[in-house]
Every structure is written in structure tokens, then in C-alpha cells.
Amino acid sequence: MSHKKPRFQLSFFSQNIRRRLAWGYSLLLILFFCLSLTVASCNSELINSFTAKKQNSSSNLTKIVRIGHQPFGALLYLKAKGSLETRLAKMGWSVEWTEFVAGPPILKAIGQGKIDLGYAGVAPPIFAQSEGVPFVYIANDSALPGSIGIIVPENSPMRTLADLKGKKIAATRKTSAHYLLIRALTQGGLQLKDVELVDLLPPKAQEAFLRGEVDAWAVWQPFLAKLQEIVPAHFLTESEGLINDRNFYLASRSFASDFPDIVKTVMGETRQMANWITKNPERAVEFISARTGMKKTTARSLTKSRTYDLLPIQDRAVEEQQRIAEIFFRLGLLPDRIWIEDRIWKQKLDL
């Protein structure tokens, strides 16, 4: 005879088990929900913290304008005065200055993203454009008569440009001094192949000149004046009448595009400084000598050898740059023909 357990007992136990399972499942859901909220909160805090740090870092980088200058020109005086820092601080920006001995290193630094603004003579930007450096012409000053020269030792027998044939000549390639040498050799009935060009930056070139390792040196102010403080030298020629050298103010293409107001502010302050130098040449000599330690004789030669003004890029300057680029191309110094107009900043510069 079979014995069956009452059905109500099975039902009771079954319901009890289901209730316990449901309670346990609910508890797990609650714990999972709380854990999810905690993780989400932590992740949110981490993301917000990372984003804030990234934004702060980015802000710090973009709010510094990095300017390259040479040991001459209005930017040298502007750096010494400190007025640009005061003006830009009101706009939430600071200034980082870097000195270079020549134009080509300035263009190289722009290409490497190390500086945002700088200036150079006629030749460096032409070569830089040929090499694909992403820059634009912002402004120019007037022609600089007599700011570059080719010198020989005072006791050298060389007295004409034709005497340079077969000689070792120090010059910095891709600079206006390089261009002057080309023009001077042509005037003397020579070509670059008729001389040995020794490519040296001014400090090294001066050492080579003083040691007698080169026969002549093509260079610009203030290095000409500094050399003459050490030893007397004879000028074979100066740039006046041979080339129209001038300074071009240049900017990284991306910086000029992203921060046109900063570019215009820097140029405006530079223009004011240039005007002051022009109107007060002797006071400018005293000022730069006191601020930089430059000898007054050097400062005076520097002030007299160049014009201090600032102009929006002129059509005449563009045309002259194009002619120089064509000369370099014909001589095989550029691999391809370039067009200066492609690199002129399109923003209106009110000066």
C-alpha cells in the first residue's frame, strides 16, 4: 500500500524555497546596483580629473607665444623693454623668448614646432619654403642698405671682388650673406664654383677668420661691428647697391591661423618699438647697451646700419623675393621653383 505525502507540505516547502531564492536574488541585484554606482562615480571622477588636467595642460601650452629673435632688430629691443609681456598678460598670454644667431635656425625651429614667431632676412624663408617649412610672411621692414658686407684682413692683398677667385670664404648658407656673396661674385666676373664656400655660423666664422683659416668673410651686423672691435678689417664690398636686404616677420602657419589676434598684438608692439628707435637713435643705443651689455660702439653701428620700421607685406617686397627665388633656382640651389605669394598671410594687418 503506497503512502503519499500530503500535497500541502510540498506546496509549503516549494513556496518557502521560492521566497528565499527571490529574496537572495533581490539582494544580489541591490548589491550589483550599488557597486555599479560606485564604479561609475569613480570612473566619472577619474575621467573628469584627467580631462581637467589635459585641458589645463593644453591651456598652458597654447597661452605661451614663443618668439625667436636675433642679436639685432626691433624684437631685441622689445624683449629688453618688457612691454609685450605687459600687454599680452592682459590677454591671458605670456612670452617665451629664444635668441638665434641667424635666420635659418629660426625657420628650422618654426618647422620643428619650437617657436611660433620670428624674423629673418631675404634668403632664409626662400630656402625654408622650398624645404616645406609651414610658415607665412606676416610683415616686412624697409630695405637695409649696408647691413651686410664681405671683409678681408686689413693686411690682405685682396682689394677687388675678382681677387676672391680660388679663395676660401666663410658664409652661412641660406642667409642674406650667402646671397650677397653670389651677387658680389657675379659683379667680379666669378661664380660660386670659382671659390670655396665654408659654411659656418657667425661665431665659428669669426674664429676661423681670426685664425686665418679663411681668406674672407661674408656676414651682417652686428657681427661686422663686433669683429672690428677686435681687429681692423677691409671691406671688399657692402650690400648697398648689390642687394635689397630686409627683414621679414614670419609665423608658423598654424599659429597665425589659430591666434591671429596674438600675431597682430605682437606686430603692433614691435611697430611701436621700431618707431621709438627711429625717432630716438642715440637713446636706443644707451637703452640696448644698458639692458644687454652690448658695447655702445656695436649698438651704434647696429642702429645706423638698418632701418627700424614695420610694414604690412608690400607687393614690391614680394616681387623682389620672387626674383631672388628665381636666381637660387637657376643656380640649382633650389630643387623646384617656388611661389612667394603662396606664403603671404591673408589677414589684414593694421600698422
pLDDT in tens, 23-44: 444 444 444 443 444 434 444 4
Which one, of 213, 119, 232, lies nearest residue 168 by Cα? 213
Residue 340: all three cell numbers together: 612667394
pLDDT for residue 331 is more than 70: yes
pLDDT for residue 305 is more than 90: no
Q: What percent of the chain has pLDDT over 90?
A: 66
Q: What is the pLDDT of residue 255?
A: 98
Of residues 13 and 168, the one with the higher pLDDT is 168
9 falls in which pLDDT band (50, 70, 90)?
A: very low
In this structure, are residues 102 and 209 in contact, taking their beta carbons and an 8 Å threshold?
no
pLDDT for residue 60 is more than 60: no
48 falls in which pLDDT band (50, 70, 90)?
A: very low
Q: What is the pLDDT of residue 335?
A: 97
Mean confidence (pLDDT) of the chain: 85
**What ranges do the domains of the chain cover?**
63-144+245-343, 148-238
pLDDT for residue 54 is more than 70: no
pLDDT for residue 280 is more than 60: yes
72 falls in which pLDDT band (50, 70, 90)?
A: confident
- Architecture of the domain delimited by 148-238: 3-Layer(aba) Sandwich (3.40)
62 falls in which pLDDT band (50, 70, 90)?
A: low
In this structure, are residues 144 and 246 in contact, taking their beta carbons and an 8 Å threshold?
yes
CA distances from 286 to 275, 295, 330 (A): 16, 10, 45
Residue 273: all three cell numbers together: 618699438
Of residues 52 and 121, the one with the higher pLDDT is 121
CA distances from 11 to 4, 8, 159 (A): 14, 5, 124
CATH code that applies to domain 63-144+245-343 = 3.40.190.10
Region 205-231: mean pLDDT is: 94
Query: Which ranges of the chain would DSSP assign to H, the alpha helix?
Result: 7-62, 74-81, 83-89, 103-111, 123-130, 176-187, 202-210, 223-228, 253-258, 260-279, 281-292, 296-304, 315-330
Q: What is the pLDDT of residue 303?
A: 78
Domains 63-144+245-343 and 148-238 share a fold: yes
